[in-house]
Structure 1
Amino acid sequence: MKQAALGVALAVTVSLTGCQSNQTSTANQPLSSASVSMPEQAFATYSEQFIERLWKNNPEWSLWAGYGQYDHVLTIPNAESRAKDLSNTQTELALLATFDLDQLNQNQKTDYYLIKNLLEKNIWQHTKFKSWQWNPSSYNVAGGFAKIINSRLEDEQSKLQKVLVRLENVPAYYQAAQANIATPTLEYTQLGISQNKGAFSVFSDDLLSRAQKSTLSDSDKALFTERFHAAKQAVQGYIDFLTSLEKELVANNSARSFRIGEALYEEKFAFDIQSGYSAKQMYQKAVADKTHVTAEMVKITTLLWPKYFPEQAMPNDNNQAIAQLINHLAVKHVSADQFVPEIKRQIPELEKFVREKDLITLDADKPLVVRETPDYMRGFAGASISAPGPYDSKENTYYNVTPLDGMNAEQAESYLKEYNHWILQILNIHEAIPGHYSQLVYANKSPSLIKSILGNGAMIEGWAVYTERMMLEEGYGDFEPEMWLMYYKWNLRVICNTILDYSIQVLGMNKEEGLDLLMNGAFQERTEAEGKWRRATLSQVQLTSYFSGYREIYDLRERQKQQLGEDFNLKSFHETFLSFGSSPVKYISQLMDK
């Protein structure tokens, strides 16, 4: 998943959602004027002004946040805009440093750390990481236009007027993109080609027809047509440029390696995860957890073996036995054409279970829409959530599911065995209820706009992973051993995400070793393993966020259980935890422990 940077705004994900309130509080209630110290009031004022400057300097990001004032702006990602952004960031960091942390309340301290992390990461991206030079897929205008066009809350005239203004800079945008690219990776080049081809699903004849049938003036309609065709030509020109570049990279074997190495990896891990552990320490924890989870799977396999193989002795090789049982069970799955409909069918069942068990309050006014993944988003993840930003929280949250019509019969069968009867339910818990969708609805109610806007990916992904186990612990699936076996298989995937990512980026793991880890060590189907390898070549650190966040959340809950004893209430824990927005878990832990 890609996240918006302070400078060139990229396609954003669930971590860029937020809340509607911009009040600052010491816990979960707004401060009264009588209880606010001068430094606290000064920081509250600064926070509001920081957000205003953030949106003004990053209009693309403000669009995804639903701010609304700069939706018509498309920044040209050239050297001038980067220099301006770097200067703004350094100025902002100096202003932040004028506050004395000891004079701020606990909640404001976490906001301070989040702002500081964002600013320092942006400087690091500009001056050291420099992905704008080697990631051609970061340049794609389709998402922003689609966000405007698909709005449910704006009238047609307003949307088309924004699109008209925004279209003007598309040719210059792609000219700057071409000028920026130097020593790209082959993998990002290929992704840039495929995703920009998907842009034509946004710049479609339907959009042009809508403009011509609208109440735009005749002159604006003519200008819209002119800019529309120029934009399409610019997109195609970029695709042609990347296609030629791809051939050159292959012919000359001149592509940059997708491996970033230990030093950059540790730095990126610190910025992205904000865990308190180093990347190496988290890798070591994952290796230990893999051993533990595999042992639990051996116990369940031993229990179930006589049920499914009554006349066959269980193999002495435990991994072989687990794999054989999983393979036997995995044939229970929906047909390829029913994959998306089945996901839609399961959502109400999850809602019913959560309400009956009183695990968390669900907001019936915040719609979840299951849709096929838009073309311009495909090629990275098979399922994802696109959530509204802090200023348009009433917009739909989309559960993006990629249909299987692009796979042949063998690929589809492998994919469906991976997302079998049991695991498909766990996937829906993770992505929808009470996972990502529920957490992001709560993030819109956080008392701190900073915490919601600067959402931490490890907390967001970690919450989704935590809910998988929590739901089974509370009886989802009726404690069926088969469900627990498949859950552990799924949990191994989370663990191995961390092992795989670190091993690829730092330890030099090759594809054969990676597939062996996923297929033989985590019992994944080849199609899934191939997809994960591809994803690991197109991201760094993000795959570790699932395990990192999950471990910290689960450990916090167990600690709270011990501290509160009989006073511990699971629903209260969940709602208190989520009330702090999408903050790093280490900061939420500090707030809850107090």
Structure 2
Amino acid sequence: MAMLIGCKKEGETQLAPENKNDAGFTTYETHFLDAMWKLNPDWATVSGYHNYDSVLIVPNDQYKKKVIDFTKLHLDSLSHYPENELTVNNRMDYYLIENYLRGTQWSVQQLKAGEWDPTSYNIISTFAHILNEPYAPLSKRLTSFYYKMENIPAYYKEAQKQIKNPVPQLTALAADQLNGGLSVFEDDFADSLKKTSIAKDQQKLMLERAKLSVTAIKDFAEWLKNLKNDKGRNFRLGKDLYEDKFKNEIASAGSAQQIFNAAVERKKYVHKQMIKLTTQLWSKYMADRVMPSDSLEQVALLIDALSAKHVEPENFQSAIEKQLPKLTAFVEAKDLLTLDPTKPLVVRKEPAYMAGVAGASVTSPGPYDKNGKTYYNVGSLASWNKDKAESYLREYNDYTLQILNIHEAIPGHYTQLVYANKAPSLIKSVLGNGAMVEGWAVYAEEMMLDAGYGDNAPEMRLMWYKWNLRSVCNTILDYSVHAGSMTKEQAIALLTKEAFQQQTEAENKWKRVTVSSVQLTSYFTGYKEIKELREAYKKKMGDKYRLKDFNEKFLSYGSAPVKYIKEAMLAKDKTEEGKSSGDKEDKVKDEKAPEAKPAKEKPAAAKPGEAKKE
């Protein structure tokens, strides 16, 4: 019988032989996940694991110690499994677990975001998930909601103790998000209670606790607003922490510096292609204007003319909804991927508790919620003035709005996450790699255009190059800001002059880079590595290469780092070449393990898959 958790007993030096096989490792994975969920109940809930929905852990020093003890115990457990004797797929899981554990240690002991990032104490999204997702009868979910609220006052008292040197930008964002999400407790909870048969006396107790929760959250938000922290921690992460976080979170084959260098070169290439297309299209749109001598100015003027075609503010969300069936039809007609029509995609207004970071995002069901809904969250323009809304809509014009929908929905994030949730390996879904997820969405944009989407119009290709510069310049911006000293003025100039973005888009991206770090590099990093893998796989397969086969094989491994998927897809052993993440039976004894095994950051309360942002 396999050991439940492979930690050493005193005097024990190795695991029994029967536990060294893949079946034993798979059993270990199950118990690792359950132990992890106990420490991360919020993450468990949004992942679809509902055993701990009623638990809210107070983030005190004792909890941090438990987290570190957990990582040490399970790193010891992993050491008992001979990684080179595991299948390629189990070996991926092995590295993902190891990366998570080492990344968690780094997060708690070195990054210490809880001391300077108040947004890490925003728990409202989990409560909203319990309230809105029909994974169990409403009365049961509301009961979990009620018990979970019990610790909210203690939670925010402890948060005040933990916050020592908050970043001003993150402090302001946290206060806005918390106040924006109060309706979950003030209105939504009460409205939901009315739909149940819970006894009136019990409902009264539940509503009283909701009021106490609202007071605790309001008080914390007010405390944040009143902090005299103009000289708080700089929002810039610093080069050393940045490199470590990039290694942990992105899990790339290259360093942050190397990816930055590649992005700079990619920008030069894209500019050359855009200049060629501008020369081709100039007479069609700009016949009455003399072409400027500055080539980037030529591109900017043509893009400006094309950007005038856009929807009205009130039609922004409905335009997105209308385009999705067209994308589905194109993917099916070109046989690029097999899509699953049984998995719903719901376009909705971005919830208030998520606002302030990205204008469009996807919230996917957790890996345990196989039949859950995927939400396409769309930022509202209702409160924007005319000039700001016009600037935003010129950025998301009739061309780029289609590319946005490819990226966020079909065959981008939505499609990839449906595949990830079908993969039998829970580890690859739970500990999913953001660079693979974002990289796929960027790759999908180009793949669609290469297949003829947009009737091969040079206008669409030009606007995609502009869009692709977002991913490229995201990397340049993020590295230059957090590992360097790029100013706001320099950032806006990069985004508007060299990436041809509207002023509003550039301003929003500056705000985003001040409240996040490293995530912006995931788009280009993943895209670059997927493209390189496809070329290597095409060479390997020769005449047998088919784009659909590559796409589906790549997605079958779940949201693992591209470098691990690359190892599996380029494996010389033919028995491994066709494996998907569910093939756990066969052993590979002589396959060389990857040389680099970087730690993967996953903070204790992280919720992967919640919002894939563009």
Same fold by TM (over 0.5)?
Answer: yes
What is the distance in 1 between the residues matched to 2:483 and 2:458?
37
* Residue equivalent to 1:479: 456
One-letter amino acid of the structure 2 residue matched with residue 41 of structure 1: A
What is the distance in 1 between the residues matched to 2:63 and 2:198?
31
Deviation per CA, 1:212-263, whole angstroms, max 9, x where unpaired? 5522234422220221110000011011101101xx123xxx1210111111
Give 1:59 shift: 1.1
One-letter amino acid of the structure 2 residue matched with residue 341 of structure 1: S
What is the distance in 1 between the residues matched to 2:288 and 2:512?
41
* Residue equivalent to 1:168: 150
Match status 1:319 vs 2:296: yes
Deviation per CA, 1:40-84, whole angstroms, max 9, x where unpaired? 222122112111111122111110110111111111111121111
- Alpha carbons 1:148, 1:163 under 8 Å: kept: yes
What is the distance in 2 between the residues matched to 1:261 and 1:225?
45
Give 1:282 shift: 0.3
> Number of paired residues?
554
* Residue equivalent to 1:533: 510
Match status 1:557 vs 2:571: no
Give 1:152 shift: 2.4
Q: Percent identity?
A: 48
Give 1:206 shift: 4.0
Paired residues for 1:151-550 under 5 Å = 151-212=133-194, 214-245=196-227, 248-250=228-230, 254-550=231-527
Deviation per CA, 1:118-172, whole angstroms, max 9, x where unpaired? 0001111111100000001111121011101111232121111111111111111
* Residue equivalent to 1:21: none
One-letter amino acid of the structure 2 residue matched with residue 82 of structure 1: K
Give 1:505 shift: 0.6
Deviation per CA, 1:406-432, whole angstroms, max 9, x where unpaired? 211110000000000100000000000
What is the distance in 2 between the residues matched to 1:259 and 1:55?
31
Match status 1:571 vs 2:548: yes
SS of the residue aligned with 2:362?
strand
SS of the residue aligned with 2:172?
helix
SS of the residue aligned with 1:203?
helix
SS of the residue aligned with 1:371?
strand
What is the distance in 1 between the residues matched to 2:72 and 2:45?
24
* Residue equivalent to 1:68: 50
- Alpha carbons 2:343, 2:373 under 8 Å: kept: yes
Shift in CA distance, 213/398, structure 1 to aligned 2, threshold 3 Å: closer
SS of the residue aligned with 2:339?
coil
Alignment RMSD (CA, Å): 1.2
* Residue equivalent to 2:562: 585
* Residue equivalent to 2:105: 123
* Residue equivalent to 1:31: none
One-letter amino acid of the structure 1 residue matched with residue 126 of structure 2: G
* Residue equivalent to 2:126: 144
Deviation per CA, 1:371-409, whole angstroms, max 9, x where unpaired? 000000000110000000111121110000011112111
- Alpha carbons 1:390, 1:453 under 8 Å: kept: yes
Give 1:38 shift: 4.3
What is the distance in 1 between the residues matched to 2:359 and 2:292?
34
- Partner residue of 1:43 out of 25, 32, 49: 25
Shift in CA distance, 300/213, structure 1 to aligned 2, threshold 3 Å: closer
Shift in CA distance, 315/113, structure 1 to aligned 2, threshold 3 Å: same
- Alpha carbons 1:286, 1:499 under 8 Å: kept: yes
- Alpha carbons 2:68, 2:105 under 8 Å: kept: yes
Give 1:108 shift: 1.4
- Alpha carbons 1:447, 1:580 under 8 Å: kept: no
Match status 1:87 vs 2:64: no
What is the distance in 1 between the residues matched to 2:44 and 2:139?
20
One-letter amino acid of the structure 2 residue matched with residue 536 of structure 1: V
One-letter amino acid of the structure 2 residue matched with residue 188 of structure 1: L
Which moved further from structure 2: 377-386 or 309-318? 309-318
Which moved further from structure 2: 557-566 or 487-496? 557-566
One-letter amino acid of the structure 2 residue matched with residue 228 of structure 1: A
Give 1:562 shift: 2.3
Deviation per CA, 1:572-593, whole angstroms, max 9, x where unpaired? 1111000000000000011111
- Alpha carbons 1:463, 1:550 under 8 Å: kept: yes
- Alpha carbons 1:174, 1:234 under 8 Å: kept: yes
What is the distance in 1 between the residues matched to 2:57 and 2:221?
20
Identify unmatched segments of 5+ residues in structure 2.
Answer: 1-17, 572-614
Identify unmatched segments of 5+ residues in structure 1.
Answer: 1-35
SS of the residue aligned with 1:421?
coil
SS of the residue aligned with 1:370?
strand
- Alpha carbons 2:423, 2:556 under 8 Å: kept: yes
- Alpha carbons 2:391, 2:504 under 8 Å: kept: yes
Deviation per CA, 1:330-364, whole angstroms, max 9, x where unpaired? 01000111111100111111111111111111111
* Residue equivalent to 2:598: none
Shift in CA distance, 147/51, structure 1 to aligned 2, threshold 3 Å: same
Which moved further from structure 2: 534-543 or 308-317? 308-317
* Residue equivalent to 1:17: none
What is the distance in 2 between the residues matched to 1:536 and 1:311?
39
Give 1:566 shift: 2.3
What is the distance in 1 between the residues matched to 2:416 and 2:295?
37
* Residue equivalent to 2:8: none
SS of the residue aligned with 2:66?
helix
One-letter amino acid of the structure 2 residue matched with residue 153 of structure 1: Y
- Partner residue of 2:34 out of 52, 70, 73: 52
What is the distance in 2 between the residues matched to 1:453 and 1:588?
16
What is the distance in 1 between the residues matched to 2:190 and 2:395?
41
Give 1:309 shift: 1.7
**TM-score with structure 2 setting the length:** 0.89
One-letter amino acid of the structure 2 residue matched with residue 148 of structure 1: I
- Alpha carbons 1:146, 1:202 under 8 Å: kept: yes
Shift in CA distance, 111/206, structure 1 to aligned 2, threshold 3 Å: closer
SS of the residue aligned with 1:384?
strand
What is the distance in 1 between the residues matched to 2:306 and 2:262?
30
Give 1:557 shift: 1.1
What is the distance in 1 between the residues matched to 2:152 and 2:356?
23
One-letter amino acid of the structure 1 residue matched with residue 100 of structure 2: L
Match status 1:98 vs 2:75: no
One-letter amino acid of the structure 2 residue matched with residue 345 of structure 1: K
Deviation per CA, 1:444-486, whole angstroms, max 9, x where unpaired? 1113111111000000000000000000000000010110000
SS of the residue aligned with 2:21?
helix
Deviation per CA, 1:5-41, whole angstroms, max 9, x where unpaired? xxxxxxxxxxxxxxxxxxxxxxxxxxxxxxx984322
